[in-house]
Amino acid sequence: MKIGIERKTAPLVLFCTLSFLLGMSMVWWLVDVDLTKPALAQRTDFLNAFYIAGAIMARGSLHELYPPLEADSQVDFEFAKVAHSLLPYLPVNSQPCWQYPPIDAQFLSLFAGLPSSTALLTWQILSIAAIGASVFFVSRFAKVHWAIVSSLFIIFLPFFQTLKFGQQGILFGLFPLCAALYLLGRDKPFIAGLVVSLTFLTLKFLVIAGLISLALLPNQRRMLIGLATGCFILVGFMLATVPFLTCLQWLHNIQLSEKYFFEPHFYHNLSLYVSFPALLILHFPIEFRTFGKILFYLLAVTILAVTMFIQWRLMNSKLPLEQKLRIVFASAFYVMPVILPHLLYYDLAGIMVANILLWDVQPSSLISQKLRAAAITSTLAIDAYFICFAVLNNSSFHPLIFSSVLTLVYLQLLWIVKNTVAQTKGEH
Half-sphere exposure of 327 (CA within 13 A, CB side): 32
Q: What integer is the mean pLDDT of 167-186?
A: 96
Res. 420: pLDDT tops 80: yes
Percent of the chain with pLDDT over 70: 93
Is the distance from CB of 278 to CB of 399 less than 8 angstroms?
Answer: no
Q: What is the mean pLDDT of the chain?
A: 89
Q: What integer is the mean pLDDT of 80-107?
A: 90
Q: What integer is the mean pLDDT of 320-331?
A: 93
Nearest to 312 by CA among 403, 212, 245: 212
Q: How far apart are CA 285 and CA 292, in angstroms?
A: 8
Q: Which pLDDT score is estimated for 364?
A: 67
Q: Residues with Cβ < 8 Å from 103, sequence gap 6 or more?
A: 200, 201, 234, 237, 238, 241, 242
Q: Which pLDDT score is estimated for 426?
A: 58
258 or 281: which leads in pLDDT: 281
Res. 123: pLDDT tops 70: yes
Res. 428: pLDDT tops 50: no
Q: Residues with Cβ < 8 Å from 420, sequence gap 6 or more?
A: 314, 317, 319, 327, 361, 363, 367
Q: What integer is the mean pLDDT of 350-370?
A: 86
Q: Which pLDDT score is estimated for 265?
A: 52
DSSP 205-231: HHHHHHHHHHHTTTT-HHHHHHHHHHH
Res. 266: pLDDT tops 70: no
155 or 255: which leads in pLDDT: 155
Q: Which pLDDT score is estimated for 1?
A: 43
- Cα distances from 168 to residues 50, 162, 172, 371, in angstroms, run 9, 8, 6, 29
Q: How far apart are CA 77 and CA 27, in angstroms?
A: 35
Q: Residues with Cβ < 8 Å from 388, sequence gap 6 or more?
A: 394, 395, 396, 397
Q: What integer is the mean pLDDT of 174-193?
A: 96
Q: Which pLDDT score is estimated for 388?
A: 87
Q: Which pLDDT score is estimated for 377?
A: 93
Q: What integer is the mean pLDDT of 52-78?
A: 88
Q: How far apart are CA 360 and CA 367, in angstroms?
A: 11
Percent of the chain with pLDDT over 90: 66
22 or 292: which leads in pLDDT: 22
Does the pTM of the predicted model rise above 0.85?
Answer: yes
Phi, psi angle pair for 3, to nearest 5°? -90, 110
8 or 284: which leads in pLDDT: 284
Nearest to 311 by CA among 192, 226, 208, 426: 208
Q: Which pLDDT score is estimated for 366?
A: 74
Tell me the pLDDT band of 193, cut-offs 50, 70 and 90: very high
248 or 254: which leads in pLDDT: 248
Query: What digits encode the pLDDT tens for the residues 198-214?
Result: 999 999 999 999 999 99
Q: Which pLDDT score is estimated for 188?
A: 96
136 or 285: which leads in pLDDT: 136
Q: Which pLDDT score is estimated for 394?
A: 65
